[in-house]
Structure 1
Amino acid sequence: MSYKNTNAERSTITRDVEFLDDHTGNIYKSIAAISMRADQISSEVKEELIAKLAEFASTTDNLEEIFENREQIEISKFYEQLPKPAMIAIQEFIENKMYLKDPNGADVATK
């Protein structure tokens, strides 16, 4: 999934907690689902970042390359500017882009 084109907030904002239980009927289930999705997003973004940085890794240790590898610096800056995984997960939850399933096997109805 492309997290580069998401409309999630880039900084922390205040949210009304009342909207969280609208989708699941329970605020704690909603927060648990958002937390699990944020963990998934975080690991996906981390894997993608590591793969991109590995393309520019050098096998020789040259002091000039360590300090002057502009490609790695640009990639790192780009990923630092992405919204945090929790913000992306909350935005997905708000937009009903998240599939929720109860641990007991029943689907959680979204409104």
Structure 2
Amino acid sequence: MDLKKTNAPVNTVTYNKDEIEASTGNIYKAITIIAKRANQINSEIKKELIDKLDEFATYNDSLDEVFENKEQIEVSKYYEKLPKAHALAVEEWLDGEVTYKEPSK
């Protein structure tokens, strides 16, 4: 997933209910699928952030020293400005990029 190329809104947006439920015919099923995808996206972003912050980690036994790293702060600010996982999931859903299977079929 390329987070720089996304068009997901950073702020709250109202979506058309008919567009959301169009592919499933059921708004609750669509929201459940979007929520599961949002959880996947959130865990991917979290893993990526932790990996990047581990590069800057310094392990000290002393609690007295607090070390601030400018690069670490910049990485954190970048991830704070990204669209939320649910906004990314809704964008993927509306673009038809999410696939799902129904266990009953």
* Gap regions ≥5 residues in structure 2: none
2:96 is matched with which residue? 96
* Equivalent residues in 2 for 1:55-70, closer than 5 Å: 55-60=55-60, 61=62, 63=65, 65=67, 68-70=68-70
TM-score, length of structure 1 as denominator length: 0.86
CA gap of 1:64–1:35, structure 2 versus 1, over 3 A, is: closer
Q: CA shift at 1:83, angstroms?
A: 0.4
The gaps in structure 1 that reach 5 residues or longer are 107-111
Q: How many residues align?
A: 103
- Look up the match of 1:109: none
Find the aligned partners of 1:18 and 1:72 in 2 and give their Cα distance. 42
CA distance in 2, matches of 1:53, 1:39: 21
Question: Residue 3 of structure 1: CA displacement?
Answer: 2.1
- Measured in 2, the distance between the counterparts of 1:11 and 1:74 equals 21
Task: Provide the C-alpha distance between the structure 2 equivalents of 1:88 and 1:29, rounded to a whole number of angstroms.
Answer: 18
Task: State the TM-score, normalizing by the size of structure 2.
Answer: 0.90
Displacement, 1:64?
Answer: 5.2
Identity of aligned residues (%): 46
CA distance in 2, matches of 1:64, 1:81: 25
